[in-house]
């Protein structure tokens, strides 16, 4: 069995953003030479997420509104974590959206369902953060 590891780095200028990282993951799959196996993609920061969904702007707006309703940023004083910080909501949003995804590799391609894409969710941006891509297989 072969393995391939790559860290993708992102620095989002805004506090929050959803980035389609499918092309970067596909590039790493090609670089790995693996034709059959699994790809793990995970956020390596506790205020960011990796998830799979549709790349559609209306859905992205809905996700943002839903997350803000469940874990509102303001007022900062509502969170015990924010005694000295201001990103408790980002930690909660990450918990809701998840840490990682695993995608099957079949015939050298990501084995997606219709419309599936891999996203990096940034919930406390304005600094460099990384995403791990680990590919194993033959």
pTM of this prediction?
A: 0.96
- Averaged over 51-57, what is the pLDDT? 98
| Domains along the chain with CATH numbers | 2-137 (2.60.120.460)
How would you class 90 by CB atoms within 10 Å of its CB: exposed for 0-12, middle for 13-18, buried for 19 or more?
Answer: buried
Tell me what percent of the residues of the chain surpass a pLDDT of 90: 99
Residue 4 CA to residue 135 CA, distance in Å, equals 5
Residue 134 CA to residue 124 CA, distance in Å, equals 24
Give the pLDDT band (50/70/90) at residue 34: very high
CB 98 within 8 Å of CB 24: no
Both tokens of 71, joined, read 């874990």
């Amino acid at each position: 069995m072969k393995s391939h590891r790559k860290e993708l780095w992102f620095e989002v200028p805004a506090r929050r953003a959803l980035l389609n990282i499918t092309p970067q993951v596909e590039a790493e799959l090609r670089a790995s030479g693996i034709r059959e196996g699994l790809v793990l993609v995970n956020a390596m920061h506790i205020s960011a997420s990796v998830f799979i969904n549709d790349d559609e702007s209306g859905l992205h707006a809905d996700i943002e509104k839903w997350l803000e309703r469940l874990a509102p940023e303001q007022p900062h004083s509502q969170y015990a974590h924010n005694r000295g910080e201001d990103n408790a909501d980002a930690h909660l949003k990450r918990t809701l959206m998840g840490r990682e995804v695993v995608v099957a590799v079949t015939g050298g391609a990501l084995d997606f369902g219709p419309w599936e894409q891999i996203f990096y969710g940034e919930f406390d941006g304005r600094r460099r953060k990384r995403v791990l891509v680990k590919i194993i297989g033959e």
